[in-house]
Amino acid sequence: MENQGRNPPKRLVLIPGPFQGHLTPMLQLATILKSKDFSITIAHTQFNSPDFSAHPDLTFLCIPDGLSEQEVQSPDVVAIVLRLNDNCESSFRECLTRGTNHMEPGDKICCIIYDPLVYFSGAVACDLKIPSIALYTNSAAYIAVRPILLQLKAQGHILVPDTMLQVPVPLHQPLRFKDLPIYSYGSLDSFLEGLALTLNIRPSSAIIFNTIHCLEESPLARVHHQYHVPIFPIGPLHKFAPTSAVSLLQEDTGCIPWLDKQTHNSVIYVSLGSVAHMNQDQLSEMAWGLANSKEPFLWVIRSGSNPGAEWIEAMDENFKECVKDRGCIVKWAPQKEVLAHDAVGGFWSHCGWNSTLESICEGVPMICQPCFGDQKVNARYLTHEWRVGLELEGEIERGTVERAVRTLMKEKEGEEMRQRVFDLKHKFDVSTGDGGSSCHYLSELVELLRSF
Ligand code: UDP
């Protein structure tokens, strides 16, 4: 009779974007809010649906998304996002109004928390007059600068001329026009259409960011100015939900015993995230740059990330012979565990926002090789604002890679970055500790949710 007299937990519906970098922070937020005594339903698309069995205390609701097998296989992420939003709005509305296995039609939902990538859920929340909160899984700097792309489009020069590339974007220091977050896979028109729709969202109640106030104070202020709703920077979420199992792909933990055999800070970890693709030439330049650097490396090559070939079977035999056991290559790593490992001294990354936060949290300096979109913004901040990363610009070429790896792992410049990222890590620890800013914003968010 423990719960006698207590109100039942309030129900929140959380809708993640269906890609690893979006799913991860939403599931972490779900775990955190569950621990604050909310009842959580994760409403997800069929495409890239999360592993329910890893979250027995959450309820899962599958929204029929109508994507064909062919659409699901497409590397054109923007096309998938546009299609999902078109297809899911009515099915999601129906799930909420007609009820499901897990939800009766009259069940009160006190708030919908959604990823703006799946903006259909914001529209449904608005129609049904349910309070809504957006969770941005990107940096605030990226969110703050996006409107510039639509301004450029309106002026007729979205693809800025070469003479403008190095010019600073007014009011968005340290960004240059070349750092603007254009998405380069698929059609530019579809990207801009999606961007316009995403920018249009108006969460009714608040915005949550997986970031830290002291890291992004001025971009956060700019976002606040754009949206005029309370902003809750409660990151890095993985620090508050360290055990939340979130991976869509099978992690190969075999790399941990390999790392155990390496010396302190000696290994460069290489991963370009869950979406980016590499062609055979790029892979080959990366491989030979790593081989020639003579430094130990752990490299994630996702299955399917090189569309023309089947994983490392396509790697050069000479390369394999040259690196022998100085290199370990896996299809997917337990990244947070890898970055926390004593042997890892550098991270060559595409600068996705989760990878960026995870690297800083473990005090690991980076080689920044952004591929598209928000990664370009994050890379510029890493290299020129926080100064904890080296920039790899232009076409990947083995000589540049070799120099960058040596600089990061062996030279004074790399050591200075290691010191700076260590200082930032300390600030993160303070922010996520008792009385820190992220803790404070989290308490305020919980209070707001309880008030609905
Ligand atoms: N990740 C992982 N194993 C890997 C590579 C990546 O677990 O081998 C995780 C990583 O820890 C991060 C996420 O996948 O949480 C990638 O998200 P990010 O925002 O960095 O990039 P995206 O994949 O969205 O481009």
pLDDT band at 4 (very low <50, low <70, confident <90, very high): low
Q: Is it the case that residue 452 has pLDDT exceeding 90? A: yes
Give the C-alpha separation, 334 to 269, whole Å.
12
| Residue 274 beta carbon below 6 angstroms from any ligand 1 atom | yes
d(CA 287, CA 293): 10
Q: How many CA atoms lie within 13 A of 406 on its CB side?
A: 11
Percent helix / strand / coil, the chain, rounded to 5: 45, 15, 40
* 21: nearest Cα among 373, 256, 310, 270: 373
Specify the residue with its C-alpha closest to ligand 1, atom 24.
21
**Is any atom of ligand 1 closer than 6 Å to the C-beta of 299?**
no
Residue 358 Cβ contacting ligand 1 at under 6 Å: yes
What are the tens digits of pLDDT across the range 291-333?
999 999 999 998 877 766 666 666 778 888 899 999 999 999 9
**Element of type H or E holding 135:** strand 132-136
Q: Give the mean pLDDT of the chain.
A: 91
Domains of the chain: 11-146+181-246+431-451 (3.40.50.2000), 255-410 (3.40.50.2000)
Q: Strands 39-45, 59-63: parallel, antiparallel or unpaired by DSSP? A: parallel
Q: Is the CB of 335 under 6 A from ligand 1?
A: yes
- pTM to 2 decimal places: 0.94
In this structure, the residue with its CA closest to atom 17 of ligand 1 is: 21
Dihedral (Cα; 154, 143, 207, 356), 10-degree rounding = 160
Over the range 75-89, which residues count as b (16 or more CB within 10 Å of their CB) and which as e?
Answer: ebbbbbbbbbbebbb
Strand, helix or coil for residue 105: coil
pLDDT score for 105: 56
H/E stretch holding 424 reads helix 412-432
Cβ atoms of residues 430 and 215 within 8 Å: no
Neighbours of 49 (CB within 10 A): 17
Strands laid side by side in the 11-15 sheet: 59-63, 39-45, 11-15, 111-114, 132-136, 206-209, 231-233
pLDDT at 75: 77
Q: Give the per-residue pLDDT at 374.
A: 94
Q: For a pocket test of ligand 1, which of 137, 274, 360, 377 has the largest count of ligand atoms closer than 8 A to its C-beta?
A: 274
Please give the angle made by the CA atoms of 332, 313 and 326, to the nearest 5 degrees: 65
Place of tokens 């090559």: 301
Flag whether pLDDT at 436 surpasses 60.
yes
**Ligand 1 pocket residue status of 378, Cβ below 6 Å:** no
164-173, 194-203, 215-224, 295-304: least confidently modelled range:
194-203
Which is nearest to 273 in space by CA: 191, 183, 353, 380? 353
Structure tokens at 226: 């754009």
Type of residue found at 34: K
φ, ψ of residue 358 in degrees (nearest 5) = -65, -40
Ligand 1 atom at minimal distance to the Cα of residue 300: 8
Q: Rounded CA gap, 130 and 132, in Å? A: 6
Buried b (16+ CB within 10 A) or exposed e, 293-315: bebbbbbbbbeebbeeeeebeeb
**Cβ of 48 less than 6 Å from ligand 1:** no
Locate tokens 């299609």: which residue? Answer: 83
Q: What is the DSSP letter of 168?
A: B
Region 129-146 average pLDDT? 96
* 75 vs 191: CA distance, rounded Å: 14
Instruction: Give start and end residues of each alpha helix (H) in 52-172.
Output: 69-73, 77-98, 120-127, 140-154
Q: Do 191 and 200 form a contact (C-beta atoms < 8 A)?
A: no
The pLDDT value recorded for residue 345 is 98
Q: Is 39 in the pocket of ligand 1 (CB under 6 A)?
A: no
For 24-46, what is the mean pLDDT?
96
Residue 147 CB contacts under 8 Å (≥ 6 apart), including other chains: 199, 226
Return the pLDDT at 2: 44
Helix (H, G, I), strand (E, B) or coil at 207: strand
Look at residue 404 and tell me whether its pLDDT is greater than 50.
Answer: yes
3-state class (DSSP) for residue 344? strand
